Amino acid sequence: MDHLATAVLLWIPEQQAPTEQMLIGILLASCLLGGLVAGTANRKAELTGLTVGVLAAFGHLWQLNRTGETLPGEWVFGFPLMAGLVGVMAGFAGRLIYPPVPIVPLIGSSGIRSLAIEPTIETPVVIWRVLLGAALIVAGTYWAGSLQHHLSRIIGSKFGSFGGSSMVVWQMATLAAVLGGTLAGANTAAGLKQGMLAGLPAGLAIAAMHWKYGGERPMGVEFWQDQLSLNQQAPALLGVLVGSVTLISTLGGWLGSRLLQPKK
């Protein structure tokens, strides 16, 4: 990847070495292409794409760490998360472009395949998965600041801005929302609904905790506050918080239903 970036930059006289943005762009493009290829004719396309993206991201971070470079703290969670999501979407697209061979129904005793059309049944809500997913989202967000503090002591100076970055806390909270939605939607046929039902009450609970603690406990709200230039107690900030948690958890629910599909 580094050699490819260097070759591309030979066309730009002002650049003498590949920039971080160039390397990240090439890596994400590689995850996209690799996920597309891995997802073709693959029944586990999304899981394969996720594996490709996460392994590529961690491999690149390991390579940079070997060179002794001080890496941005936002890369620890954000880079693998982004690459994994790109891999999942690429695997899903690859499976749509070239779907796997359909499963042929078994031949009955009469020698004629059964072609009975199954009636449409409304998918029930799996309450315990929704509750566990919402609890994971709330707990992960609540303890994101403490986890950042403990990890910064372990990582040390390898990731320079890890310990003091509000984006890192937001990335941890985002990862918790993805995992909570994934847990809610796993092994169900209605991942989007499961993820939304887990994310909405979790978002309301996080907004209530932020209203109570304010800036005393970092929970990723500071990132939105900096981006939108809003007051800590602004209703618009709380609305963005609830909406973003619900949306991310809903996407996580879809991801869970694709990675761990229910048995038919």
Distances (CA, A) of 171 to 53, 145, 219: 17, 11, 10
Round to whole Å and give the CA distance between 215 and 226.
13
The pLDDT tens digits of the residues spanning 200-210 come to 999 999 999 98
Contact 229, 155 (CB under 8 A): no
Report pLDDT for 160.
Answer: 62
Model confidence, pTM? 0.77
- Return the ∠ at Cα 76 (arms to 71 and 82), rounded to 5°: 115
Round to whole Å and give the CA distance between 211 and 224.
15
The pLDDT tens digits of the residues spanning 67-99 come to 776 677 777 788 898 899 999 999 999 999 988
Which two tokens mark 60? Answer: 């690149």
Residue with tokens 């999501």: 85
Q: Which of 17-31, 165-179, 214-228 holds the top average pLDDT?
A: 165-179
- Per-residue pLDDT at 103 exceeds 80: no
Confidence of residue 148 (pLDDT cuts 50, 70, 90): confident
Residue with tokens 């169900």: 188
Q: Which residues pair with 113 in a beta bridge?
A: 107
Confidence of residue 195 (pLDDT cuts 50, 70, 90): very high
Q: Which residues pair with 71 in a beta bridge?
A: 159
Q: For the ranges 110-114, 171-175, 190-194, which has the lowest average pLDDT? A: 110-114
